[in-house]
Structure 1
Amino acid sequence: METQENKSALSEINGINQPDSVSRVVANNILQFRRKQPSAKELVLAIANGDKIALSRAITLIESTNISHLEKANEVIQGCLPYANKSVRMGITGVPGVGKSTFIEAFGKHLTSLGKKVAVLAVDPSSSISHGSILGDKTRMEELVKDENAFIRPSASGDSLGGVARKTREAIILCEACGFDTIIIETVGVGQSETAVHSMVDFFLLLKIAGAGDELQGIKRGIMEMADTIVINKADGDNIAKAKLAKSEFNRALHLFPAKKSGWIPKVTTCSAVYGDGIDTVWKIISDYFEMVKTNSYFQAKRQDQNQFWMMETINEQLKSNFYNHPEIVLLLESNKKAVQNNEVSPFAAAQILLETFFKK
């Protein structure tokens, strides 16, 4: 037995235990609530009644890669369809550091002040090494996140090209069913193809900055052709003159591109998201665009084309999922990978073996 003389100096005298900071009863109730999974019909009903918690849970469900969740996710999406397609959808892209989150917060606050209900689907880049994502958009949009008429949902891009999460298209439908009349999609903006986001929105906005070598770098045919409006952000302080110069340069560049099918002539404007300057002008341009495309029927025609495109994308995605989850493929894939690495079989022959096995099931 340890005596007072040889007692370790690191030992502690028993004191008073600290009380629980959270009631165990309350904690248990919360845990039980989280374990209880609502049915698809319950989720749809709650979403239709404007329940943001149900909306978040439903988006988590459709983003799940667990194949056992697919049937329920499809049931939720199908149930929400009658309440959807009553919004305007906008995509916002730009290089990292251009101020996308700051702009979206200022723009979103302006829209909610006009009585709009705004849903922001922000896509954060995923690490190619750890496959993790920070998902920090809610932190950056601290004012908008507290707005009752706003909803912000960050999602990881995963391995999706174009900076769009795999299930962003379905998330749009859920947000519309929840009563949000303005949907904003923020892309990663890392220079990858932006075709994916362009194919799911009605209006495509490109954010640029001046004075950072961005003018010539930004004049690239693909992204410029997709943009319906170019907004030069951070037009404040000493950067105002540079922003005006960049505006002139982009206006000249836009004349080199062919006319859009919508008949719309892309506009270039400047703003300062930090100070809120020019945000109302951006919304005026967007409003003019929607008034024009709804009048000439382009708006509805584009939506119909997008629906067909996403049907084909969904088929591709489902075939890919079924392929990699097929039991025989799971067994054969590793052995074929090793055979390809050891040059025992060509990559093309190995792929053909796997595909033939899958389609013979």
Structure 2
Amino acid sequence: MDIADLGKRILAGERRALARAITLVESGRTDHRAQARQLIEDLRGHDRQALRIGLSGTPGVGKSTFIEGFGLMLTEQGLKVAVLAVDPSSARSGGSILGDKTRMERLSRERNAFIRPSPSQSHLGGVARRTREAADLCEAAGFDVILIETVGVGQSETMVADMSDLFLLLLAPAGGDELQGVKRGIMETADLILINKADGDLKTTATRTCADYAGALRLLRKRPQDPEGFPKALTVSAVELTGMGTAWAEMQQLTDWRRETGHFAARRAAQARHWFEAEVREGLLARLRREPVKGAMAALALQVEDGGISAVAAAEELLETYLGETREA
């Protein structure tokens, strides 16, 4: 594979080259990882910057319907939109349905839209391990807005906030104990809470739910990266396409304020450091999965099972032998 040529084609906005590059960065093969690193380095330094929007929500809230309606609204304004949708992988077979593109049929036909479903595999946090690199590629390809859809809501599924400029939390009305359903952890991370399905018989309920969340947000500690009034709770309808324009205006207002105050650049810099440290941790874990460490670990595990050595002592022995750790450290 000619990596230099692939990089030039991505910068020229070729969709096929972008799709091929994302496949490359998602591969776990050693030679592919080396090529992916070269590609990312070759593309580094371009002056393009997309608005990265992470989106999570409870199951059945209508994330795909919202993204399609929202994406179509943006493309009608002349913006280029990329959607990185992460599907859950089976814990047994490892397979994924990858049906997001099918659920966004109208958006997938738009010339200014690009949809890429990816399996989460065994990666926790609601996103795939290489989603951030895929976002980098989409940014290099000239997309204006990148929507990153997570597997689904959960208290630990805030990792998407570490790779996006804005984090949206999509919730449904009439969901029982609303404030208990989604805990404080993910609410503290959200920049906007959108109550979807604010139409028909649920419109009044959605308005009441929105007011409940607006009250709850006022109780949270104010974050330095927020202007007055943020984070906010708003109502939208992905079916009737109402509230989309208001939500987009709020996103632009928040983004403009963060750019002017330096919070936007600071957030990007902090994210770069976070993912550097994450890559170091993943690299150390990868060493445990290779010989001779893998065999030594299996042998020590048998000794732990038989009661010949404690788990703590076995772990320290393995680290001292293969990773250069010392007991004093």
> TM above 0.5, one fold?
yes
Instruction: Kindly state the Cα deviation for residue 349 of structure 1 after the two structures are TM-superposed.
Output: 2.7
Contact 2:126 2:158 in 1 (8 A): no
2:179 matches 1:179 = no
Equivalences for residues 171-250 of structure 1 within 5 A: 171-213=134-176, 215-218=178-181, 220-250=183-213
Q: Secondary structure, in 3 states, of the residue corresponding to 1:162?
A: coil
- Mapped partners of 1:229, 1:344: distance in 2: 54
2:22 matches 1:50 = no
Instruction: Kindly state the Cα deviation for residue 214 of structure 1 after the two structures are TM-superposed.
Output: 5.3
Task: Return the index of the structure with the highest Cα Rg.
Answer: 1
The percentage of aligned residue pairs carrying the same residue is 47
- Please name the residue that 1:7 is paired with: none
- Mapped partners of 1:184, 1:165: distance in 2: 14
- Amino acid of the residue matched to residue 271 of structure 1? V
Contact 1:235 1:243 in 2 (8 A): yes
Contact 1:270 1:278 in 2 (8 A): yes
Deviations 1:265-323 (CA, angstroms, capped at 9, x unpaired): 11111111012111111111111111111111111111111111111111111222233
- Mapped partners of 2:104, 2:319: distance in 1: 46
TM-score, normalization: structure 1?
0.85
- Amino acid of the residue matched to residue 354 of structure 1? L
- Mapped partners of 1:322, 1:256: distance in 2: 45
TM-score, normalization: structure 2?
0.93
For structure 1, list consecutive stretches of 5 or more residues without a partner in the other structure. 1-37
Contact 2:154 2:186 in 1 (8 A): no
- Mapped partners of 2:304, 2:153: distance in 1: 32
2:241 matches 1:276 = yes
- Please name the residue that 2:53 is paired with: 90
* Aligned equivalent of 1:298, options 263, 269, 272: 263
- Mapped partners of 2:324, 2:273: distance in 1: 28
Q: 1:356 to 1:66 in 2, by over 3 A?
A: farther
- Please name the residue that 2:275 is paired with: 310
Equivalences for residues 114-129 of structure 1 within 5 A: 114-129=77-92
- Please name the residue that 1:333 is paired with: 297
Instruction: Kindly state the Cα deviation for residue 161 of structure 1 after the two structures are TM-superposed.
Output: 1.8
- Please name the residue that 1:358 is paired with: 322
Q: Secondary structure, in 3 states, of the residue corresponding to 2:315?
A: helix
Instruction: Kindly state the Cα deviation for residue 68 of structure 1 after the two structures are TM-superposed.
Output: 2.6
Figure out how many residues of one structure are paired with residues of the other and give that number. 323
Deviations 1:113-134 (CA, angstroms, capped at 9, x unpaired): 1111111111111111222111
Q: Secondary structure, in 3 states, of the residue corresponding to 2:82?
A: strand
| More off after superposition, 78-87 vs 309-318 | 78-87
- Mapped partners of 1:67, 1:341: distance in 2: 33
For structure 2, list consecutive stretches of 5 or more residues without a partner in the other structure. none
- Please name the residue that 2:289 is paired with: 324
Q: 1:48 to 1:85 in 2, by over 3 A?
A: closer
- Mapped partners of 2:11, 2:264: distance in 1: 25
- Amino acid of the residue matched to residue 153 of structure 1? R
Q: Secondary structure, in 3 states, of the residue corresponding to 1:180?
A: coil
RMSD, aligned α-carbons: 1.7
Instruction: Kindly state the Cα deviation for residue 358 of structure 1 after the two structures are TM-superposed.
Output: 2.1
Contact 2:84 2:117 in 1 (8 A): yes
- Mapped partners of 1:297, 1:341: distance in 2: 54
Q: 1:218 to 1:292 in 2, by over 3 A?
A: farther
2:2 matches 1:39 = yes
Contact 1:100 1:207 in 2 (8 A): yes
Contact 2:48 2:142 in 1 (8 A): no
| More off after superposition, 125-134 vs 179-188 | 125-134
* Aligned equivalent of 2:215, options 224, 228, 252: 252
